[in-house]
Structure 1
Amino acid sequence: MHPASLARLIALAALWGGSFLFMRIAAPALDAVPTAFGRVLLGALGLLGLAAIMRIPLRFQGKFPAALALGVINSGIPFLMYAFAAKVLPAGYSAILNATTPLMGILIGVTAFGERLTAGKGGGVLVGLAGVAILTRTGPFEATNALISGVLACLVATACYGLAGFLTKRWISQRGGLDSRMVALGSQIGATLLLLPFAGWQMVAHPPEPGHIGGDVWIAMLALGLACTSFAYMLYFRLIADEGPMKALTVTFLIPPFGVLWGWRVLGEAVTAAHAAGGGLIALSLWLVLRPETARPAGKATTGETS
């Protein structure tokens, strides 16, 4: 990976690891839908501001509908699921579960996009599922229905991310490509349009009480929308454009350590053996899934080893 791409990868991991911290602060106070809607709205406004400052022409080259639809899958639904999970799960847990994104990509690729399932990838999926089970069953929290629902919400989010990687290639890359900044902007607009009616209904049915919401919540929302969404998505789509979707997905290796670190440092969340055991198995599964395979020479026996 090019050094500039590596720097973007680390910065993106730190930002997205921090997003779980900010959601953990905001979602219990605002609820899931307003948190997710505020994030994508601020993300879209931030990207528009960046485009104006950098004098980027708002040209979608006929791919604006595709970018909107991509935003529903890559931002709207996942952000809502993670905001829901943030009400019941520690930030570090959600960050570790986020690392199942490549596993979901493998399953979706095999079932819907004709991808080949190798022994290494199949083993990686099984090891990853074992890691999720350990994280859920042996953590510092009782495995209640609420906790299980939070874990399932995270897995729905990662399934959306896995699907979005293939759709980005099909809808954007294979149709001539598009400036990564426009993909990011269009996706946030699409996610905003998806969540707008639900956020509007909740505002009417359950009006917020501003006096009961602390300044830390508003700061968390600004950081979540502007830093962890608008700026981070520009980094992410640039990585996809420069390095391809699979290499861009390696950011999931780095998000869990940052998520656990921010949760521990800021919120005092416990770091337990479940983090090490479950997170370690998920990391091993990622290595199995993402490692490149050595091409087999024609006419020669192979040892079965891959690099």
Structure 2
Amino acid sequence: MSAIDTGRLLLLSTLWGVSFLFMRIAAPEFGAVSLIFIRMSVAALVLLPLFTVRRYRELFWQHVGRLTVLSLSNHVLPFSLLAWATLSLEAGFTSLINATTPLFTALLGAALFATPVQKQQYLGLAIAFVGVYVLSANRLDFSTGGDGWSILAALGATFSYGIAGNFSKARLSHLPAQVVASGSTLMSALILLIPGVLLWPETPPSLMAWGNVLALAVFSTALAFFFYFQLLASAGATATSTVTFLVPVSALAWGYLILGEVLSVQVLIGMAITLLGTAITTRLLRLRAPKAPVV
């Protein structure tokens, strides 16, 4: 990976890591759905100039149905679930649950899209889910005030990401990245228009909340998409997927420095186990089979 791509990777992990901080601060005042409505609407406006290219507009209308499916599975549903989860979960903790996205991508790819899964990947899946259990075992309380439902919501978001990743690869990989990013973002804003307005908070959000939601839209959505697709085109999918391991580290650091979130031994151990399993599942870490003895 070149120095420029390494810089893009670090910047992307920072932009996506700090997004959990932005949601953690803004979600209590906006509510999950209205927050994501603003996020996608502002991001769509930032990316709207891409539609000045006639070819992009034509491709958008030709594939508007598939882009709508992608917007629902990759933006509307998972972003809303994560925003709702951050109402009670710490930013760093939520980002660690989000790091299971490659696991659901592999499982759903094997189950629904005939994507082959190697034996070592099954081992990685098992290790990663053990890590998730270590992270959340003492927090799976589904009574009033418990974190159980929020943890399930965050896992539901990663499940949705798994559907989106496989669907995008199977049905939209032939489209330019600019069309996929701008088209799915625009459709997300349109889908969220009515629920976002109906669920708008009665109490006007503070300037602090507005600043965080605008930063979430501009930096962690529109700008992050720009760097993501640049990196994908330059460095390839495997190198780009390493951002999965950097985002939780970034989110944990932001949560610790800005929000004063506690980095417990349980969280650090759970993070290490989860990321180890994810590395094996994505085949960034390959286990060598023992050599047969020479006779």
Structure 2 length as normaliser, TM-score? 0.89
Q: Distance in 1 between matches of 2:207 and 2:162?
A: 35
- Indicate the residue corresponding to 2:278 in structure 1: 286
| 1:237 alignment partner AA | F
Report 1:267-282 matches (<5 A): 267-282=259-274
- Indicate the residue corresponding to 2:203 in structure 1: 209
Deviation at 1:158, TM superposition (A): 1.1
The Cα offsets for residues 250-275 of structure 1, whole Å up to 9 and x where unpaired, read as 21110000000111111111111122
Is structure 2 residue 125 aligned with structure 1 residue 125? yes
1:224 to 199, 202, 216: 216
Deviation at 1:293, TM superposition (A): 8.6
8 Å Cα contact 2:14-2:250 kept in structure 1 = yes
- Indicate the residue corresponding to 2:33 in structure 1: 33
Q: Distance in 2 between matches of 1:244 and 1:116?
A: 20
CA distance 1:277–1:244, shift in 2 (3 Å): same
Deviation at 1:244, TM superposition (A): 4.4
- Indicate the residue corresponding to 1:19 in structure 2: 19
CA distance 1:17–1:160, shift in 2 (3 Å): same
Give the alignment's Cα RMSD to 1 decimal. Answer: 2.3
- Indicate the residue corresponding to 2:230 in structure 1: 238
Alignment size in residue pairs? 285
8 Å Cα contact 1:165-1:245 kept in structure 2 = no
Q: Distance in 2 between matches of 1:228 and 1:65?
A: 25
8 Å Cα contact 1:91-1:260 kept in structure 2 = yes
8 Å Cα contact 1:69-1:190 kept in structure 2 = no
CA distance 1:69–1:5, shift in 2 (3 Å): farther
- Indicate the residue corresponding to 1:82 in structure 2: 82
Q: Distance in 1 between matches of 2:213 and 2:253?
A: 19
Is structure 2 residue 291 aligned with structure 1 residue 303? yes
Is structure 2 residue 175 aligned with structure 1 residue 178? yes
| 2:57 alignment partner AA | R
* SS at 2:147 equivalent: helix
1:250 to 242, 247, 251: 242
CA distance 1:131–1:35, shift in 2 (3 Å): same
The Cα offsets for residues 100-154 of structure 1, whole Å up to 9 and x where unpaired, read as 011111111111111222221111111111111111124xxx5432411111111
Deviation at 1:243, TM superposition (A): 4.3
The Cα offsets for residues 199-250 of structure 1, whole Å up to 9 and x where unpaired, read as 12223xxx5222xx32211110010011101111122233344444444332
The unaligned stretches of length 5 or more in structure 1 are none
Deviation at 1:22, TM superposition (A): 0.2
* SS at 1:144 equivalent: coil
Q: Distance in 2 between matches of 1:149 and 1:237?
A: 33
* SS at 1:271 equivalent: coil
Q: Distance in 2 between matches of 1:238 and 1:68?
A: 23
8 Å Cα contact 2:279-2:285 kept in structure 1 = no
CA distance 1:60–1:244, shift in 2 (3 Å): farther
* SS at 2:263 equivalent: coil
Report 1:38-49 matches (<5 A): 38-49=38-49
* SS at 1:68 equivalent: helix
Deviation at 1:302, TM superposition (A): 7.3
- Indicate the residue corresponding to 1:9 in structure 2: 9
The unaligned stretches of length 5 or more in structure 2 are none
8 Å Cα contact 1:89-1:150 kept in structure 2 = yes
Moved more, 251-260 or 143-152: 143-152
Q: Percent identity?
A: 34
| 1:112 alignment partner AA | L
Is structure 2 residue 198 aligned with structure 1 residue 198? no
- Indicate the residue corresponding to 1:160 in structure 2: 160
Moved more, 238-247 or 110-119: 238-247
8 Å Cα contact 1:110-1:117 kept in structure 2 = yes
Q: Distance in 2 between matches of 1:91 and 1:117?
A: 31
- Indicate the residue corresponding to 1:59 in structure 2: 57
Q: Distance in 2 between matches of 1:170 and 1:65?
A: 14
Q: Distance in 1 between matches of 2:226 and 2:141?
A: 37
